[in-house]
Chains A and B, each alone.
Chain A
Amino acid sequence: MKVLRDMALLFQRHLVELLRNPVWLVVGFSTPILYLALFTPLLKQLAGLPGNAVLDEFLPGILSLLAFSTGVSAGFGTIFELKGGVIERLRVTPASRFAILTGPIVASMLMMFVFDAVVVAVGVGFGFTVHWGGLLLLAVFLGILMVITSAFSVAIALLTKEISGFAAVVNGINLPVLLLAGVLIPMSLGPAWLRVLAHFNPLYYLVQSARVLAGGTLTGTAVWQAAAVLMPLCALTLGWATSVVRRAVS
């Protein structure tokens, strides 16, 4: 139970740090709202759907995008901590290496859920239909994806050590993953080979299941597929990232 205790301590540390950083809070809140405000009119034109239906399609995608980008950007903080000696300060203690990795991730996840709730609340104002059961299961999936991308991002940060190298890797991954997930533009618009390629993208499965779940269906094929892809991937990434934390030096 030492792991849980260490996790709780490091969760608390990171949460306090997030809450004391006002710039981060403002950006965190405004980004998803901006997405909603700027993309919804565009999609209305594109799809020729009535207002409600567009948001029912688009809002789950926004939530998926938020989970992805929250996770991927986790490594920027890691680089900062590496440069500041924080990682070494934590690693020199007997604290669990798994907790050093996951404590902060869980804190960021909590913040992400708060932002998610704001997005849903705003969405409801513009006609998004809420299905509670589906949204709760979606929250679990969003959390898992966020853990995968966070752990990956932290590990890449610890391996590259420099902001330039890290940013290059992350930016290189961002574009294809986002494009092939059908978050902003539906994959059905693309040619067959693009759709085949999308099946190698974990985010694609999340986005597919997110649309189904937000529509209130809990047992669709997309939901099972997402679970089958995301859960093992999460375990693998956590295992790898923990071993990276075990070896990390600035």
Chain B
Amino acid sequence: MNDIITTRDLRKSFRTRGGTIEAVRGVSIDVGQGEIFGFLGPNGAGKTTTLLMLTTLLPIDSGTATVAGFDVGRQPQQVRTRTGYVSQLGGADELATGRENLLLQGRLYGASKEQVMPRASALAGLLDLAEFADRRVITYSGGQRRRLDIALGLVHEPAVLFLDEPTTGLDPQSRANLWDHIRRLSDGGTTVFLTTHYLEEADALCDRLMIMDHGLIVAEGTPRELKQQVAGDAIVISLRQAAQDAPRAEPVVRREPYVRELSARDGQLRLYVDDGGTALPRLIRLLDDEGIGIRSIAMSEPTLDDVFLRQTGRSLREGGPDGDSGEQPAHPDHSQPEQQELAR
């Protein structure tokens, strides 16, 4: 497989009033042609900053990056004509129609009006925009706008499409619909590089992914490989009287030899065992002997969140304030608190 994106030890830091923030601390990536490659991590992990560097929007501090055969630092124009980028913010002109937006964007990439027109119509068809392509963007729904944003990123037929949190803020139905569109793009040969903080999205959509935290890659592989790293089964125990029993239950459970890892949060114990089938009855008996009431107990195959938890000691679902500690200035999330809310 040919690699269409290659980076080695990519770094970026920002100077702020509070000191220097190392947003990206040595990221090496290889993405093959036609892959859907995902960048999973909490807000402020450095995902957007990496994307901005790969799309030539942000200068690289150190390290190298090659996209579609060209050096990002030295040949930005060549990289620009071969890549599309859809930011979290979209960026369509609201007072113009969808078609006008597409025509302008295509022409800014150097095509003539005659060349762009059929392309715009084809994209409108591909992304189910045709019906309202001649209405002003301000009248579009969230899902419709998102599809137009993606069409804008595709108007010059790029080899690589970068999507920054493409489904943030969309309702579940629009999200599933967008996933279908992204899969179809990939089937057509376009390499898709996306960031997300949705576990389900990374799991369902990506051929391969990297988990990023505080500017570093903490895990890499296919969703299946990553989940296999977390050997065994995950068991989640909810306690009836969480506040008083959790501190008691934690050391008791931790002492059991078959418990590999354990985290306690919000009155829930989350633990990993080699064999859930034998561990489950023993745990129930153990807690019963201690007089600790169980509200519910569930066993599951490991999720990507378990992978993240194992690598970083934190749950990705905690999202919000905790994950935000490494926020970098170039990240637009500052102005969009509702996005962090949705990330939970």
Contact = CB atoms under 8 A, between A and B. Distances in A.
- Greatest chain A CB density within 10 A among B58, B93, B105 is at B93
Interface residues of A, number: 25
A122 interface: no
Interface stretch (A79-87, A179-187, A230-238): A79-87
Interface of A: 2, 6, 9-10, 13, 16-17, 20-21, 83-95, 247, 249-250
- Greatest chain B CB density within 10 A among A85, A93, A94 is at A93
A13 B55 contact: no
Nearest to B79: A94
B89 A83 contact: yes
A103 B109 CA distance: 16
A249 B85 contact: no
A17 B95 CA distance: 6
A92 B95 contact: no
Number of chain B interface residues as a range: 20 to 34
B189 interface: no
B104 A92 contact: no
B330 interface: yes
B57 A88 contact: yes
Given A9-B104, A94-B109, A94-B110, A89 B59 contact: no
A84 B104 contact: no
Contacts of B109: 93-94
Contacts of B202: none
Interface string B144-167: 000000001000000000000000
24 contacts: A2-B110, A9-B104, A9-B107, A16-B96, A16-B100, A17-B93, A17-B96, A20-B96, A84-B94, A85-B87, A85-B88, A86-B93, A87-B91, A90-B108, A92-B83, A93-B108, A94-B80, A94-B108, A94-B110, A249-B52, A249-B58, A250-B87, A250-B89, A250-B332
Contact of B80 (A17, A21, A92, A247): A92
A95 B105 CA distance: 10
Contacts of B94: 84
Nearest to A161: B329
Nearest to B138: A20
Contacts of B108: 6, 9-10, 90, 93-95
A209 to B, nearest CB: 37
B118 to A, nearest CB: 19
Contacts of A90: 91, 108
B335 A83 contact: yes
A93 B87 contact: no
Given A9-B104, A13-B104, A17-B95, A84 B89 contact: yes
Given A92-B80, A93-B80, A94-B80, A85 B90 contact: yes
Interface in B13-72: 52, 55-59
